[in-house]
Amino acid sequence: MEIEQAMRGSSDVRLRAKYDAAVYIVRRAYALYPFEELAFSFNGGKDSTVLLHLLRAGYYLHRASSGGDVDDDSTVLQTVKNCPMRTIYFEDPDAFPEIDCFTYETASTYGLPLESIRTGYKSGLEALLKEKPTKAILLGTRNGDPNAVGQQEFSPSSPDWPPFMRVNPILDWSYSDVWSFLLTCKVQYCSLYDQGYTSIGSVHNTVPNQLLRDGPGGSYRPAYTLSDGSLERAGRAKKTGKRDGSANGTKNNGNETKQ
């Protein structure tokens, strides 16, 4: 399995430790909940792209360790390639077309059964849970993200939200961990990150990060060259409101920073 192989071959001890810890969380989720009652919240951003590949690696290891396929590596690989986890995407008419495209293309590449939701987060999740039992949702939330406040690797949804477990395997990953992982594994990511975008909201509130401006010509360096990860959201405008519900009851009053 190419992600496992890339990580085992990496000399970056810190990254390997982060990877092992995150895959452990993913595998605990697979062990705790029926697979068909899990969902992956995917939006084509860099954090959820990391999570996609952790889910694939975790699935491979989970399948391999639960017997049956252990001696038949090609069967395991085939299953993992076609990662069948229910995947939800809250589609936003103001999203960058590159993000939309990447989300759909990636879902198709990895056989993710993608469900687009065109309502707000809370109402969308209410409908989702009504339609099919969903015990836990995996997210690419990281500490420093305004939505991460008060969350742990396993955090129940907020009291006024439908009941499910939020599983956050990369909560303690830094900006540089994210890029080290994506580059080490040589996986595709949304093209906007090669054009100076370091965190992506909607077309109305996101511009390339000025810290990556490459001279006066208007070109920008790739996101992975940003040396101070705390300035990841420098290209995101101040928030004035939420689509549907606030971030865990907290308010955001300025440019937020991720670590």
Ligand X SMILES: Nc1ncnc2c1ncn2[C@@H]1O[C@H](COP(=O)(O)OP(=O)(O)OP(=O)(O)O)[C@@H](O)[C@H]1O
Ligand Y SMILES: Cc1cc2nc3c(=O)[nH]c(=O)nc-3n(C[C@H](O)[C@H](O)[C@H](O)COP(=O)(O)O)c2cc1C
Q: Pick the binder of ligand Y from 116, 205, 248, 257 (CB under 6 A).
A: 248
* Alpha-carbon torsion (117, 118, 122, 124), positive or negative: negative
19: part of which helix (H) or strand (E)?
helix 13-32
Stretch in the footprint of ligand X (CB under 6 A) among 67-75, 78-86, 88-96, 245-253: 88-96
Touching ligand Y, residues 158-197 (CB under 6 A): 158, 161, 166
Of residues 184 and 198, the one with the C-beta less far from ligand X: 198
Residue 39 in contact with ligand X, rule: CB under 6 A: no
The whole-angstrom separation of Cα 37 and Cα 43 is 20
137 binds, among ligand X, ligand Y, none (CB under 5 to 8 A by kind): ligand Y
40: part of which helix (H) or strand (E)?
strand 38-41
Residue 106 in contact with ligand Y, rule: CB under 6 A: no
**Cβ-count burial 142-159 (b if 16+ within 10 Å, e if not):** bebbbbbeebebbbebbe
161 binds, among ligand Y, ligand X, none (CB under 5 to 8 A by kind): ligand Y
Touching ligand Y, residues 73-102 (CB under 6 A): 90
Contacting positions for ligand Y (CB under 6 A)? 41, 90, 121, 125, 137, 139, 147, 157-158, 161, 166, 242, 245-248
